[in-house]
Amino acid sequence: MAGHSKWANIQHRKGRQDAVRAKLFSKLSKEITVAAKMGDPDPDKNPRLRLAVKEAKSQSVPKDVIERAIKKSQAGEGDDYEEIRYEGYGPNGVAVIVEAMTDNRNRTASSVRSTFTKNGGNLGETGSVGFMFERKGEVSYPASVGDADTVMMAAIEAGAEDVESSEDGHIVWCADTDLNEVATALETDLGESESTKLVWKPTTTTEMDLEGMQKLMKLVEALEDDDDVQRVTTNFEATDEVMEQL
């Protein structure tokens, strides 16, 4: 009986992972379609599309899915999407930024507000937490590409602003407007990155305990489960002990 229960649990987790993966593919495809619609359908001539395709590839989105998303833009799909940013507070006053892409502003606003309320947070006005973040370009590399000095030298040559290196890997930061150029230069020196994207980088953080983190993760997962939500960013800070318990 225990073995059967264990298998059932594994199936449940696997099913959840597959669902999350399918949703991620859908959101990345939407970004590709909109980026192609707003500019040229050729990634080499459209920096935003190039970054969208690069991020999709880093998440193992199949080539045919990427190509299909670009073709959708030429067929008129993606015309009605608008990008909206929501800002609010989660458990323990942690700042939360929600980036959405929607064809129905009222539906998305209602859903996001409801999700905040149900999970111990509250939706604020635009700008209510944005001042605690900076818009930055982020390029991630595995630790295997080299030591901190090697990556730092490559980053300086590429025109980046800063590098954070640890045993888990390297994160190269740059101005948001320089991301395409910096990523291209880094690729020449270090090879393909694990991830290349625009992010909201916290300038002020909120310390979270285990209970707070558990509540925050529940909020973030609920927000990310919304088909209109592209990404969620928070300014939480937690100790290694808390993260291990999670």
Can you tell me whether residue 32 is helix, strand or coil?
helix
With a CB cutoff of 8 Å and minimum separation 6, the contacts of 138 are 171, 172, 173, 195, 196, 197, 198, 199, 201
Give residue 93's pLDDT: 93
The superfamily in CATH containing domain 82-131+204-245 is YebC, transcriptional regulation domain (3.30.70.980)
Q: According to CATH, where is 1.10.10.200 located in the chain?
A: 2-74
With a CB cutoff of 8 Å and minimum separation 6, the contacts of 237 are 205, 206, 207, 208
Give residue 39's pLDDT: 78
pLDDT tens string, the chain, 246 residues long: the values are 333 333 444 344 455 566 677 888 888 888 888 888 887 888 888 888 888 888 888 888 889 888 998 888 887 765 688 889 999 999 999 999 999 999 899 999 999 999 999 999 999 998 999 999 999 999 999 999 999 999 999 999 999 999 999 888 999 999 999 998 999 999 999 998 888 888 999 999 999 888 988 999 899 999 999 999 999 999 998 888 877 777
Distance CA 120, CA 164 (A): 32
- Report yes or no on whether pTM surpasses 0.85: no
Q: Is 112:210 a contact under the CB 8 Å cutoff?
A: no
Measure Cα distances from 114 to 109, 119, 157, 203, 215 in Å: 8, 9, 46, 27, 15
> What residues does 88 pair with on adjacent strands?
96, 123
Q: Is 155:138 a contact under the CB 8 Å cutoff?
A: no
Q: Which two tokens stand for residue 114?
A: 């409801």
Q: Which two tokens stand for residue 47?
A: 């920096």
Q: According to CATH, where is 3.30.70.980 located in the chain?
A: 82-131+204-245, 133-202
The superfamily in CATH containing domain 2-74 is Integrase, N-terminal zinc-binding domain (1.10.10.200)
Give residue 15's pLDDT: 52
Q: What is the DSSP-derived secondary structure letter of residue 192?
A: S
Give residue 24's pLDDT: 84
CATH number 3.40.50.1360 given to 133-202: no
Give residue 195's pLDDT: 85
Can you tell me whether residue 237 is helix, strand or coil?
strand
